[in-house]
């Protein structure tokens, strides 16, 4: 009965073709031993691959048993041992070693399909574990019937078969197998779900296995549809440069709330792949709140990355610390300074500008100065209460100037205030100058202030 069920599943889903070479992963547990017996019953040619993880005393007896079993039936067998088992994260490390070995054997000996004995109880356990651990739609689809694996395919012919059916088949057909005692340990979450939750669900509805498989298929299909749309959003909305990932809030809010969420999920996946930066669900929710809230703000991510809102612009980038060599300078006409590794400033008589080679390709802010410009000035960071006279009738606090011009917080911190020795503000570099310091159109220009910065910046306000 089970053999016919597997044959029908293979035919209906065209899981493999006559010219495919099949490699069966066998642990000697009841699931893989039953699948091996089914393949023999169907007269399907296959090879067997086995990994001795050396984690239990019975591992050696299992390997010897499998060797004898395959020799008697002239089934090709490929084995290896895990010589250096992990101390922590054993289950994940064992799986990684196991599947790497499977892929090596497939490549070396020309197998195109790897078969494993995952069944419908495994499907239920996997989906439940993912929902309990994460509650993430994109990782809740469970186990696929077939999927790409290396240059071939990974197929699970027992995925629609229950554990009860497998045990019944083993008993009816006298299939030998080894029982892994660790499967009964309640120290592992999977085992707790297996022994307590799954039986309860089965008692509630005998069709629950089928329902979990339907859920898995439906979420896989939904994910494929969403992924196609997400790729379109990324291509249309997001620009990427050396400074990070950028998109405009107007484009973001043109999407429905559901689409905004899945757009951010796509960005999360892109960052995970390209930058190895992870988002949590909480950080996605914080970002959505930020986008709908204040004009500026930041959500911190891992590895000094952040999501920054600056009015209508969103940037996801890694925070770079500014290296300022000083916070106050006395600047005389004819002198120049490197304010940091990325900034240079100088005040010169017209025609006597001395620009270092290093800064010639940097962005420039230039201000012509009147003949009455003071010979000695002080360059410092802004202080509370600083004001600048923008014209004869308008003097503004620098804080208000920044707000009115929508200067991002980061740029505000980078700005410099130029004053007289008596603390009268002459200019806010690189944004504005006091009207008293600027040369009038009718004046002959005597001096020029040059400020250059490595990063490209738009100073046209």
For the chain, the structural domain boundaries read 2-205, 238-318, 328-453
pLDDT at 322: 46
Q: What is the mean pLDDT of residues 231-239?
A: 95
pLDDT tens sequence across 81-121: 887 766 666 778 888 999 999 999 999 999 999 999 999 99
pLDDT at 116: 98
The percent of residues above 70 in pLDDT, for the chain, comes to: 94
108-112, 172-176, 218-222, 273-277: the lowest-pLDDT one: 273-277
Q: Would the pTM count as exceeding 0.85? A: no
Q: What is the mean pLDDT of residues 160-167?
A: 96
CATH of 238-318, one of 3.30.70.1140, 1.20.120.80, 3.40.50.300, 3.30.465.60: 3.30.465.60
Q: Is a pLDDT exceeding 60 seen at residue 381?
A: yes
Q: Is a pLDDT exceeding 90 seen at residue 295?
A: no
pLDDT at 88: 61
pLDDT at 108: 96
Of 384 and 452, more confident: 452
Q: What is the mean pLDDT of residues 348-369?
A: 89
Q: Is a pLDDT exceeding 90 seen at residue 441?
A: no
pLDDT at 443: 63
pLDDT at 435: 82
- Looking at CATH, the fold of the domain delimited by 2-205 is given as Rossmann fold (3.40.50)
Q: Is a pLDDT exceeding 90 seen at residue 140?
A: no
pLDDT tens sequence across 398-427: 999 999 888 888 889 889 999 998 889 999
The 3-state secondary structure of the chain, one letter per residue: CHHHHHHHHHHHHCCCCCCCCEEEECCCCHHHHHHHHHHHHCCCCEEEEEEECCCCCHHHHHHHHHHHHHHHHCCCEEEEECCCCCCCCHHHHHHHHHHHHHHHHHHHHCCCEEECCCCHHHHHHHHHHHHHHCCCHHHCCCCCCEEEECCEEEECCCCCCCHHHHHHHHHHHCCCCCCCHHHHCCCCHHHHHHHHHHHHHHHHCCCHHHHHHHHHHHHHHHHHHHHHHHHHHHHHHCEEECCEEEEEHHHHHCCCHHHHHHHHHHHHHHHHHHCCCCCCHHHHHHHHHHHCCCCEEEEECCCCEEEEEECCEEEEEECCCCCECCCEEEEECCCEEEEECCEEEEEEECCCCCCCHHHCCCEEEEEEECCCCCCEEEEECCCCCCEEEEECCEEEEHHHHHHHHCCCHHHHHHCEEEECCCCCEEEEECCEECCCCECCCCCCCCEEEEEEECCCCCCCC
138-142, 162-166, 229-233: the lowest-pLDDT one: 138-142
Of 370 and 457, more confident: 370
């Amino acid at each position: 009965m089970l053999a016919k069920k597997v044959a029908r599943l293979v035919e209906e889903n065209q899981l493999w073709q006559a010219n495919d070479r099949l490699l069966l992963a066998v642990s000697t547990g009841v699931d893989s031993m039953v699948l091996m017996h089914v393949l023999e019953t169907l007269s399907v040619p296959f090879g067997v691959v086995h990994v001795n993880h050396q984690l239990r005393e019975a591992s050696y007896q299992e390997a010897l048993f499998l060797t004898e079993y395959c020799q008697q039936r002239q089934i090709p067998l490929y084995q290896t041992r895990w010589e250096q088992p992990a101390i922590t994260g054993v289950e994940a490390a064992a799986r990684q070693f196991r599947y790497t070995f499977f892929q090596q054997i497939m490549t070396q000996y020309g197998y195109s399909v790897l078969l494993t004995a995952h069944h419908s109880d495994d499907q239920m356990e996997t989906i439940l574990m993912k929902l309990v651990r994460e509650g993430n739609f994109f990782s809740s689809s469970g186990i696929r019937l077939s999927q790409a694996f290396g240059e071939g395919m990974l197929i699970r012919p027992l995925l629609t078969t229950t554990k009860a059916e497998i045990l019944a088949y083993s008993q009816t057909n006298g299939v030998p197998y080894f029982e892994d005692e660790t499967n009964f340990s309640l120290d592992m979450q999977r085992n707790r779900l297996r022994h307590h939750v799954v039986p309860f669900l089965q008692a509630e509805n005998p069709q629950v296995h089928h329902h979990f498989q339907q859920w898995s298929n439906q979420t896989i299909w939904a994910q494929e549809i969403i992924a196609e749309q997400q790729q379109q959003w990324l291509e249309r909305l997001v620009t990427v440069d050396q400074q990070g990932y950028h998109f405009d809030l107007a484009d973001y809010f043109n999407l429905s709330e559901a689409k905004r969420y899945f757009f951010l999920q796509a960005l999360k996946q892109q960052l995970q792949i390209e930058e190895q930066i992870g988002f949590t669900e909480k950080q996605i929710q914080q970002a959505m709140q930020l986008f709908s809230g204040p004009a500026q703000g930041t959500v911190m991510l891992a590895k000094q990355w952040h999501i920054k809102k600056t009015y209508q612009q969103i940037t996801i980038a890694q925070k770079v610390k500014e290296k300022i060599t000083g916070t106050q300078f006395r600047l005389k006409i004819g002198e120049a300074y490197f304010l940091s590794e990325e900034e240079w400033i100088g005040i010169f008589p017209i025609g006597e500008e001395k620009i270092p080679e290093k800064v010639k390709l940097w962005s420039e802010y230039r201000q012509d100065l009147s003949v009455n410009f003071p010979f000695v000035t002080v360059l410092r960071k802004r202080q509370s209460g600083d004001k600048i006279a923008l014209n004869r009738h308008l003097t503004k606090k620098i804080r208000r100037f920044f707000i009115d011009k929508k200067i991002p917080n980061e740029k505000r911190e980078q700005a410099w205030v130029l004053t007289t020795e008596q603390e009268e503000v002459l200019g806010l570099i690189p944004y504005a100058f006091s009207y008293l310091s600027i040369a009038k159109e009718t004046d002959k220009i005597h001096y020029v202030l040059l400020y250059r910065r490595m990063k490209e910046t738009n100073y046209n306000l």
